[in-house]
Amino acid sequence: MDFSVFSGSGAILAATFFFSGVIDAVCGGGGLLSMPMFLTIGFPAHMVTGTNQCSILFGAATSFARYMKAGFIHWPTAWLAGPLAIAGAFLGAKLNLFLPERVLEIMMLALLPVITAVILKKPSFGRENRVDELTGRQKLFSGLFIGLVIGAYQGFYGAGSGTFFLLGFALLCRLDLTTASGNTKFVALCANLSSAATFAFSGMVVWPAVLLATATNVMGSYIGAGLAMKKGAKVIRPMFLFVLALLFVRLAATMIG
């Protein structure tokens, strides 16, 4: 398709990917902004996912590098979940061929209010790093579950998967929200590298859009990572709830439409 970086659509894309980068770096879920934007400005549906995945690749690497440099990654659980997320995403994509997306959408619509209620009732959620309270076996199974199950969700449906990785690391591994967000960046980058390469070699990418979006997404990711590390749960928690609400609205709109 024809796309000009100097058009009004280019300006919208640049702004959207800046804010998407901020959200992704803090709590995941930036795709809930960027992917609908592509459709709004007229991108063919079959080009949206590939262009989005390639556009966020360097932003994801930027936020991951900031978290890693600051020491906000728990490597024992991250190393388990990262590679398994790639395998889980593959299995989820295969499952999508047999199970209608509507089934998962109904399940998620029922589950999201429950998740939100649990978080709201636990003011201490993600404020402390309590991973050392877990045994080695518990850490092992937590990493396996996060990688395979949430990775499968990413491959099957994808929307808000980064947010669910963060939730998994915070609840199951008992990490504070900042470290859980750092772990999420590692896992998301593993999956993003794989999917971006797949779409690129399949020719499903609008490269002028990728070049523009990458520039602003990197800036947003850098700022978002710094904000999350400086403010911790004070900024991650409300943005996390915002992304859950955004996902609920998207699912509800899909069901109604």
Question: From CA 148, how far away is CA 131, in angstroms rounded?
Answer: 20
Q: Are 217 and 20 in contact (CB under 8 A)?
A: yes
Q: What is the pLDDT of residue 257?
A: 65
- CB-based burial, 117-156: b 16+ in 10 Å, e otherwise: eebeeeeebbbebebeebeeeebeebbebbbbbbbbbbbb
Q: Can you give the residue ranges of every domain in the chain?
A: 8-256
Whole-structure pTM value = 0.89
Distances, alpha carbon 232 to alpha carbons 82, 99, 151, 224, 238, in Å? 23, 38, 25, 11, 11
Ranges in the chain, pLDDT < 50: none
The tens digit of pLDDT for each residue in 219-236 reads: 999 999 999 999 998 999
